[in-house]
Structure 1
Amino acid sequence: MESNEPWVVRFVVQLAGEYVLEILEAIGRGLPGLASPDSGQRRLYGEFIARNPAFFARTERRMVSYSSCYYRWKYGTFGNYPGSVLLEAFRAAASEQVGARWPRHTPPSADDADGGSA
């Protein structure tokens, strides 16, 4: 995950759609640049998502499905699920690249529960 090679991004994003919570946590720790606007890491992931919107949408839907199946008992709503934070960071990175809000294919995050940006 620490690699800045563009070919790595696809595999990391794909892993984000898996059901293993420890993978999501490792990705979150391994991509600290996602939280920094204009970082090289954020740009790299934003560019990939902007070029591959269907792939990212499928990853989002997989994450929602897995979180509902395996973790609903623990987190209640998708907005409380740790993967939700990761997807928000990916969406923010893509939004920076395209200059517009990136579409959401998940339930609203805890911050958006009032209907603000679905």
Structure 2
Amino acid sequence: MAYQPVFPLALQPAASALLGAMTASALAPAQQGFRVTVQGESLSAPARLYCSPSELRALIEQAAGDSRTLALCLGTRHWDGHVREECLRRLISTDRPWVAPFFVQLLGEYVIEIVEVIAEAVRLATVQDLCGFARENPKFMALTRQRATSYWDCYFRRRFGSLQTYPAIAVLNAIDVMARSQ
């Protein structure tokens, strides 16, 4: 299914401009990824973006403020794992609530280096936005946990002898504990 962009009202102008520019340089059309709720508003993201890494980087550098942050979020959906990690690292200290689903989505993916970046960031930063997001999107959180468990079982069981030591599960557990305690 083709990607149907949906963003909170305040982000719609920036999202339309960014997605228009990314679509113009797309190597393939984006497919629908996840759809979640952030502070009562819907947000959807593509499964993957298939635009040139250099063109994405140029779009990020040309943007400012929330447009740049949104471009980095969309960059976490890029087909190249190195680009996803690069964008994630630049987003780590961002305190916008609509960034949370992009972090959580990466916990349910297979690139351990990206999962480890998030695990380290969660130790250093507040998880307030992640907790609010988790309470608002329990099905998305459960699906992310299922995916993380599957990747641990398939690829990382030897490296992380217990599911609870796998960084994605550790982060999801920390979010759950904090979300329940608030």
One of 45, 53, 57 as aligned partner of 2:130 = 45
Given that residues 46 and 96 in structure 1 are in contact (C-alpha distance below 8 angstroms), is that contact kept between their aligned partners in structure 2? no
Structure 2 Cα separation of the partners of residues 52 and 84 of structure 1: 17
Report the Cα distance in structure 1 between the residues aligned to 2:181 and 2:127, rounded to whole angstroms.
9
Alignment equivalent of 1:27, drawn from 118, 131, 140 = 118
Taking every aligned residue pair, what percent have the same amino acid on both sides? Answer: 38
Structure 2 partner of 1:91: 176
* Higher relative helix content: 1
Contact 1:45 1:93 in 2 (8 A): no
The 1-side partners of 2:156 and 2:168 are apart by 11
Bigger strand share:
2
Q: Does 1:12 align with 2:103?
A: yes
Unmatched 5+ residue regions in structure 1? 34-40, 98-118
What is the rounded CA distance, in whole Å, between the counterparts of 2:167 and 2:95 in structure 1? 24
Alignment of 1:75 with 2:160, yes or no, is yes
Given the two structures, how large is their TM-score scaled by the length of structure 1? 0.69
User: 1:22 offset after TM fit, Å?
Assistant: 0.8
How far 1:6 sits from its partner (Å)? 0.8
What is the root-mean-square deviation in Å for CA atoms of aligned residues? Answer: 1.4
1:48-83, Cα deviation, whole Å (9 max, x unpaired): 000000000000000000010001122232123222
- Aligned positions, number: 90
**Length-normalised TM-score, structure 2:** 0.46
**1:10-62 deviations in Å (ceiling 9; x for gaps):** 100001111111111100222323xxxxxxx3221111000000000000000
- Unaligned stretches of 5+ in structure 2? 1-91
